[in-house]
């Protein structure tokens, strides 16, 4: 048993395996300004708090910033995925699409990228309030996933 544990540890360290910890961000992002047209969107609010949790100081003006995270587009909505024989929607999909880039001074650290995530849910016209809540929870989960994707991309810079 002892040999198996030692072998496993040596194998994992030899192949480059590392435990995932907090995402490290580039030093240029020490003071970051988030530039967006909609400062009230769910995505903007989550990015702002997510950056703070990652150790990034979010500043209120671009002149005080060492980097600018620009949110070019921030769109969300829902579409009908399927309908019943009575032509009543039975399934919807919730989508969230964002485009963003990161620059520090005149250099572009992360070129313009677009991420779109989609989740679907079933619709029951007798449970309207519950399904509306489910849609909002799915949208929040999508935004959290988008933020996680961005932080992973930033940690690779």
User: What average pLDDT does the segment 9-27 reach?
Assistant: 63
* Chain segment 84-115, per-residue pLDDT in tens: 888 888 898 999 999 999 999 899 999 999 99
Mean pLDDT of the chain: 87
Task: Give a yes or no: residue 113 inside a domain.
Answer: yes
Task: Give a yes or no: residue 10 inside a domain.
Answer: no
Strand, coil or helix: 91: strand
CATH for 104: 3.30.160.150
DSSP assigned state of 49: H
Q: Please give the pLDDT value at position 75.
A: 96
Tell me the backbone φ, ψ of residue 143, rounded to 5 degrees.
-60, -40
Model confidence at 38: pLDDT above 60: yes
DSSP assigned state of 61: S
Q: Please give the pLDDT value at position 148.
A: 96
Task: Give a yes or no: residue 53 inside a domain.
Answer: yes
Task: Give a yes or no: residue 17 inside a domain.
Answer: no
Total domains in the chain come to 1
Q: Quote the tokens at residue 43.
A: 């995505």
């Amino acid at each position: 048993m002892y040999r198996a544990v030692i072998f496993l540890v040596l194998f994992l360290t030899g192949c480059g395996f590392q435990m995932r910890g907090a995402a490290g961000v580039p030093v240029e992002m020490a003071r970051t300004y988030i530039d967006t047209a909609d400062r009230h969107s769910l995505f903007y609010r989550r990015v702002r708090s997510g950056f703070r949790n990652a150790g990034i100081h979010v500043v209120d003006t671009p002149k005080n910033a060492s980097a600018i995270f620009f949110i070019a587009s921030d769109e969300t909505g829902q579409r009908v995925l399927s309908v019943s024989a009575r032509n009543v929607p039975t399934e919807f999909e919730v989508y969230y699409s964002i485009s963003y880039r990161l620059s520090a001074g005149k250099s572009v650290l992360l070129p313009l990228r677009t991420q779109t995530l989609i989740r679907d849910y079933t619709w029951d016209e007798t449970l309207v309030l519950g399904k509306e809540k489910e849609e909002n929870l799915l949208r929040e989960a999508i935004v959290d996933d988008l933020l996680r994707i961005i932080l992973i991309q930033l940690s690779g810079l």
